[in-house]
Amino acid sequence: MIQKRFKYKIEELKGLINEDSWSAPSTLSGGAGPEGPTFLVAVSGGMDSMCLAELFVSTCGCVDVAVAHCNFNLRGEESDGDEALVRDWAGQWNLRLHVNSFDTVSYAARHNMSIEMAARELRYSWFARLCLEHGYRYVAVAHHADDNAETLMLNMVRGTGLKGLTGMSPVSDLPCTEGHVPAKLIRPMLEFSRKQIEGFVLTRRIPYRNDSSNSSVEYRRNRIRHEVFPVLEKLNPSFVATLNREMTYLSDASDIVDDWCRTAAETVVTGSDGCGGLRISVSRLLSYRQWRYLLYHILEPYGFNSSVLSSLENLLESDRTMSGKRFVSETHEVRTERDVLVVSPLSEGFHAEEELVVEEAGLYRFNDVTFAVEVCPWTADMSPVQPDGVQIFDASKLNFPLTFRTWKQGDWIVPLGMRGKRKISDIFSDMKYDGAAKRSAIVLAGTHDDRRAAALLWVRMDTEYKVDSRTRYVIRISRR
């Protein structure tokens, strides 16, 4: 029975947390601590969170549970209806209720981030403040086994290293917070599937509301849920349970790998630069067969993403000159010297190389990316669809000299296959680009308008420069 398993899971989570944080009487006995409820339960009004809330009330007792609801004002009357349901349900159980209304769209625009990221940041920052103000020790969220499997798929697509394949942790620190918050984020439903939750909710006749945005495939998580999972279910009806089991094995393997990396890093990192950075011996690094993952382990805490690391790896395994190269994350840079990688914080006022003008075909390097520019005849048997890392343009529409530059606010294109213009900043948001990825992106300037780009290289191109029946020659730009 899901209720009995939930009670056991709460006890198990207590064992994962330092006993010093459990100074209050046992919550499962129904007694609250002297400062009030111990658990702050995040309740959106959807099926998953309403199931979580009911389980907490029936297992821990009303006196030890408080409820937090976020109205992100993204779905008009639907959002208000969700809030009304949560208010009514909390009132029936006489629970302490916190409600906050956010202008999520404005927050996302001000901070140049996606709506999803803005909602996440607003939500967890508010939860942290509630914990500080009211003494809650744990924030409970309704992530379950299917959510965990979706996260695994997303991390595989993004490229997050072995850590990203271990799934969500049942206990973690509150994200999006600064300073010490004496509370933990817990996920007591990770071992329950969506089907199990649905069965419990329907059997107990627990009220809930459907979020219409969950059916849209505009968001990547929804696309995985509605388009990828049905295919996997045909291959293995129990694939969710299988993936979650594999994630536990990967978590154990990750711990073993991290232990090895910490030991190996001591022989590779030769010292500190004295300013919050470090020095890495290239020859010692390359002496390890697993040097790529070791390099990832060392640099990942400094914000270097897979794209930047790939460029650095290509340099290390090539015969090109090592010295004088620079690779940048959102907060740090790696400078290459003879047999040494120097990692240091970005200096104030730092800005990457801004522009490269190309007069003719050849091999070039800009913004730590090497690429070839070629002029080729276009024949009827050639395909306009090119492999990843290659873009072609009608040479009669895009003339030399070509200007490659970093992205600027206001840049836009009319993407191939679309009629209306789209800001490149919106494309960044769609693709979940962080600050480092935006800085490493390369824009190919257009011919007529400084703000209308010919392409965001190897990502999107402007329809004005596509090949057509009159094309005789193409400019081909290939990433190396």
pLDDT above 90 (res 62): no
Tell me the CATH number at 233.
Answer: 3.40.50.620
Edge-to-edge strands, sheet with 390-394: 362-366, 369-377, 473-479, 390-394
23 vs 398: CA distance, rounded Å: 69
Question: CA quadruple 220, 226, 231, 235: dihedral positive or negative?
Answer: positive
110 vs 221: CA distance, rounded Å: 24
Residue 428 shares a structural domain with residue 321: no
Of 440, 288, 480, 249, the C-alpha closest to 298 is 288
Residue 236 shares a structural domain with residue 298: no
pLDDT above 60 (res 352): no
Query: What does the pLDDT read at residue 23?
Result: 40
Query: What does the pLDDT read at residue 34?
Result: 45
Q: Compute how many other C-beta atoms are within 10 angstroms of the C-beta atom of residue 447.
A: 14
Q: Compute how many other C-beta atoms are within 10 angstroms of the C-beta atom of residue 218.
A: 8
Query: What does the pLDDT read at residue 443?
Result: 93
The helix/strand/coil state of 313 is helix
CB 455 within 8 A of CB 413: yes
Over residues 95-112, the pLDDT tens digits come to 999 999 999 988 887 876
> 106 in a domain, yes or no?
yes
> 267 in a domain, yes or no?
no
41 vs 43: CA distance, rounded Å: 6
Residue 337 shares a structural domain with residue 308: yes
Encoded tokens for 321: 């000159």
Domain span holding position 305: 273-345
Residue 336 shares a structural domain with residue 367: no
Encoded tokens for 257: 């790998």
Residue 309 shares a structural domain with residue 359: no
Residue 14 shares a structural domain with residue 62: yes
> 393 in a domain, yes or no?
yes
197 vs 187: CA distance, rounded Å: 14
Cβ neighbours of residue 313 under 8 Å, at least 6 residues apart?
Answer: 292, 295
Tell me the CATH number at 306.
Answer: 3.30.465
Residue 92 shares a structural domain with residue 121: yes
Half-sphere exposure of 72 (CA within 13 A, CB side): 21
* Burial per residue of 140-179, b for 16 or more beta-carbon CB atoms within 10 angstroms, e otherwise: bbbbbbbbbbbbbbbbeeeebbbebbbbbebbeebeebee
Over residues 162-218, the pLDDT tens digits come to 888 898 989 888 886 655 667 889 999 999 999 999 999 999 999 999 887 777 666
Encoded tokens for 129: 């403040």
Over residues 243-284, the pLDDT tens digits come to 999 999 999 999 999 999 999 999 999 877 555 679 999 999
11 vs 13: CA distance, rounded Å: 5
Residue 57 shares a structural domain with residue 203: yes
Residue 315 shares a structural domain with residue 451: no
130 vs 150: CA distance, rounded Å: 29
Q: 27 pLDDT band (50/70/90 cuts)?
A: very low
> 112 in a domain, yes or no?
yes
Average pLDDT (358-365) is 84
Query: What does the pLDDT read at residue 128?
Result: 92
- Tell me which of 325, 345, 365 is where a domain ends: 345
Which pTM does this prediction carry?
0.65
- Tell me which of 311, 345, 379 is where a domain ends: 345
- Tell me which of 345, 366, 391 is where a domain ends: 345
31 vs 24: CA distance, rounded Å: 9
Edge-to-edge strands, sheet with 460-461: 355-358, 402-405, 443-445, 453-456, 460-461
Query: What does the pLDDT read at residue 353?
Result: 55
Residue 452 shares a structural domain with residue 332: no
Of 108, 162, 174, 106, the C-alpha closest to 137 is 174
> 251 in a domain, yes or no?
no
Task: Domain count for the chain, please give it.
Answer: 3
Q: Compute how many other C-beta atoms are within 10 angstroms of the C-beta atom of residue 425.
A: 18
Residue 6 shares a structural domain with residue 126: yes
Neighbour-count burial of 442, counting CB atoms closer than 10 A to its CB (0-12 exposed, 13-18 middle, 19+ buried): buried
Query: What does the pLDDT read at residue 30?
Result: 38
> 360 in a domain, yes or no?
yes
82 vs 100: CA distance, rounded Å: 13
β-pairing, 269-272 with 278-281?
Answer: antiparallel
| Residue that has been written with the tokens 């939500």 in this structure | 123
> 282 in a domain, yes or no?
yes
Question: CA quadruple 54, 59, 61, 64: dihedral positive or negative?
Answer: negative
CB 67 within 8 A of CB 53: yes
Q: Compute how many other C-beta atoms are within 10 angstroms of the C-beta atom of residue 383.
A: 8
> 128 in a domain, yes or no?
yes
Residue 234 shares a structural domain with residue 195: yes
Neighbour-count burial of 269, counting CB atoms closer than 10 A to its CB (0-12 exposed, 13-18 middle, 19+ buried): middle
CB 189 within 8 A of CB 6: yes
